[in-house]
Structure 1
């Protein structure tokens, strides 16, 4: 009897994980699909796109594919007035289903919410929030050795994403979020961390 149990355990099939296409951006900005066995149970196949605009000019468009968790399948944006970064994703749960890149972000309209913005000298400007940007945000980043304050609008996922711990170690910048028109005039409660540079967003999400 015990012998049959031992054989039964040995012959049990291993719990298989999903296989997805992986395509991580390199220095050229392009990538090539390879097949990857996901290293964890419950994975999904995902595609992520991070697009940054300066005004109407697209300055960065980064695509990637790999195994992701459900929490990494997010969409949102950061809007600082002079620049705006979108994150879009497309996730699925069947074998090698992430053949397509994530969609390009759609043009969104002002939603009535307003937040303060900065121009490098003062932070008294106004940003009209768009789409699902329902928070006012503030952060101070180190640009070339100088501390620069940035304010604007952000989607809720930017304030409470599953990636905040990983991102904190990369950018060492704190993002504060609040709800209510022009609530980002003073220091608000720490709500999360967010990567402000588009290439690093992609590298953290798919590391």
Structure 2
């Protein structure tokens, strides 16, 4: 019996010793505090917010452990007469999140784009004439981000943002919608190309002929059989998607069903926007094909587009890349 308990104790000590360690702080560039990450938190994160105005430059840095699978993203735009720059980077070795995101470094301006820029926070996205912003990094594209959710997960004044950015997997439109949410991320590579003026809330995209099951919740609330609806898909969201994971409020077995673009199916934005940890996601083609979640789990399918499994403890994503900006910015301003 003593040998059994000895093995258990040894295993616990080895597990603890093997835990990833990251710098952890909020607001201070000279971050020296450290934290041991949770069992499935496989990345260290650095999120940096810089705001440039006539009165000067202000910075806010946050570091800590994060879930696996998050991409590195950055965005810059004009809001309330200030240039707002947000960047988030991830790494996977002990104390690797020591510096600030490289996306905030200075680059020669002769290789950059000019992009249209606005933010719903100052109502500039509804203006007939949008401001221009010069991208600092030649790797950046012009971006256009829409995030609408009912009930609101993001403040209403952050539903639309245009500017410069580096967004993972944005070669094609990244989009998802169901009866509660509409997300669309678009990128382009020529100056002032992010000139889409469509109001997706007032005027939904045309139906594309695909119909999927839709719900949001868990097997006892929101995604019970009687709560699952039939949803006609819009615009480029031509695939049916279903995902299951763990949510800070809904617990394990949290579910999501709806319509998605092919690029969204292969990207980690379900975890970012819906705060799902340990995500298992699957996309498929064909009406009502997203019906495989059973008893809070997604069984393997022979013919399916399966999103990468993102192992993680439930966590509030203070900013998760880019479009975590939609969470980070209101709390920081």
After TM superposition, the score normalised by the length of structure 2 is 0.41
Structure 2 residue aligned with 1:38:
137
| CA pair 108-117 structure 1, distance change in 2 beyond 3 A | same
Measure how far apart 1:129 and its partner are.
1.9
Structure 1 residue aligned with 2:181:
84
Structure 1 residue aligned with 2:306:
191
- Over aligned residues, Cα RMSD in angstroms? 4.5
- Give the distance between the partners of 1:112 and 1:87, measured in 2 at CA: 19
Deviations 1:117-138 (A, max 9, x none): 2361414432222223221111
- Give the distance between the partners of 2:169 and 2:223, measured in 1 at CA: 37
Structure 2 residue aligned with 1:107:
204
Structure 1 residue aligned with 2:224:
122
Q: Does 1:139 align with 2:243?
A: yes
1:18 to 97, 112, 120: 112
Structure 1 residue aligned with 2:159:
61
| CA pair 48-205 structure 1, distance change in 2 beyond 3 A | farther
Paired residues of 1:74 and 1:87 also in contact (CA < 8 A): no
What are the ranges of 5 or more consecutive residues in structure 1 without an aligned counterpart? 1-13
Paired residues of 1:136 and 1:179 also in contact (CA < 8 A): yes
Structure 2 residue aligned with 1:150:
256
Deviations 1:153-200 (A, max 9, x none): 212221134x66x959x853333211112211113545336xxx9x85
- Give the distance between the partners of 1:107 and 1:51, measured in 2 at CA: 13
* Count of matched residue pairs: 177
After TM superposition, the score normalised by the length of structure 1 is 0.60
- Give the distance between the partners of 1:139 and 1:149, measured in 2 at CA: 6
Identify which of structures 1 and 2 has the higher relative contact order when contacts are C-alpha pairs closer than 8 Å and 6+ apart: 1
- Give the distance between the partners of 1:125 and 1:155, measured in 2 at CA: 19
